[in-house]
Amino acid sequence: MGFSEWLDRTITRVRTDGIEGLSKSSHELYKGLWRTFGWHVPRGTNIYEAEWDALIILDACRLDLLEAVVDDYEFLGSIERRTSVGSMSEEWMAKTFTDAYEPEIARTAHVTANVFSESELDDEAFLMLDEVWRDSWDDELGVVPPRPVTDRAITAGREHDPDRLIVHYMQPHHPFISPNHDLPTTVEADPFGRKNVQTAVDRLRQGAISYEAFWAAYEANLRYVLDDVGLLLDNLDAETVVITADHGDALGEWGIYDHPAGCLHPAVTDVPWAETTAIDTGEYEPTDRSTATDASVEDRLRQLGYVD
């Protein structure tokens, strides 16, 4: 979006929503500046610089969030701090799967629920790329829940026996879908006749929900996916498994919310790194959970808060 378009949208928003419209546009500009200037700052260590057989990505998992539940999940063990190469999934993918690591990528089976694989991943570069979001997206939830990812990852491990396996869950990233806590995404019409998605992070930024309510739902979403990670670890053979995140999430630090591209705040760039192991007991058989959906990539990204 160019400056003139942003200005036109700001004028329309202010006329329609007053101060709230100005706030929305200011936040939009803020995120745009991060993308423009922060994206090009080198940071972090590529995942292929580490030794692992399976890498489990918990999308948008803050370091302190995983630390908060470590005592309840024996497989987490000790948690280290690492710096991600990106501050959002699109940036993380673009800076992770580069030509420099082409041989390693070619040996990698990649199972992902993240929609940015559409633009950032080349299926021919991998041993196998399974984009679970294409046929297991839940339109009602607005995201891919954990179980289809777990099922497909178990299948990938058993059928391909890859040297490297990446499993990219969408949780704990909002929308928060844990049965224990629910802060639903809301959809309204905006002044431009488009769907205006209000995520839980948007409402936190606007003061519509408390930090405590947000954190409780965020943690419940993490526990929801970690229960599935436990199932995966009992049905996968991998000597070294790393549980980490593509990026964290800002909850007001430096006035930042969510995880704009190019963001340099540690709340976004610092990610957990926990090592464990996995043994396939053979006790669980994956289920085909494919579902038909008419949602476009843009609609799915909008439900996740990436498209205004």
Summarised one tens digit per residue, pLDDT across range 240-284 is: 999 999 999 999 998 889 988 888 899 999 999 999 999 999 999
CA–CA separation, 161 and 55 (whole Å):
14
SS3 109: strand
- Say if CB 80 and CB 272 are below 8 A apart: yes
SS3 55: strand
Alpha carbon separation from 150 to 93, 161, 260, 288 (Å, rounded) = 20, 15, 28, 11
Is this prediction's pTM over 0.75?
yes
Backbone φ and ψ for 46, nearest 5 degrees, come out as -60, 145
Query: Looking at the domain covering 39-303, what would its CATH class be?
Result: alpha beta
pLDDT tens-digit profile of 190-205? 444 445 668 899 889 9
Q: What is the pLDDT of residue 193?
A: 45
Average pLDDT, the chain: 86
Beta-strand runs (E) in 153-293: 164-172, 186-189, 195-198, 238-244, 250-251, 257-258, 270-278
Write down the residue that tokens 């694989």 correspond to.
Answer: 117
DSSP state of 138: B
CA–CA separation, 57 and 172 (whole Å):
10
Q: What is the pLDDT of residue 290?
A: 73
Asked which of 129-138, 139-148, 178-187, 219-228 is least confident by mean pLDDT, the reply is 178-187
Residue 109 has pLDDT above 90, yes or no: yes
How much is the average pLDDT of 180-194?
Answer: 54
SS3 42: coil
Q: Could you tell me which of 57, 61, 46, 154 has the C-alpha nearest to residue 101? A: 46
Other CB atoms within 10 A of residue 195 CB: 14
SS3 189: strand
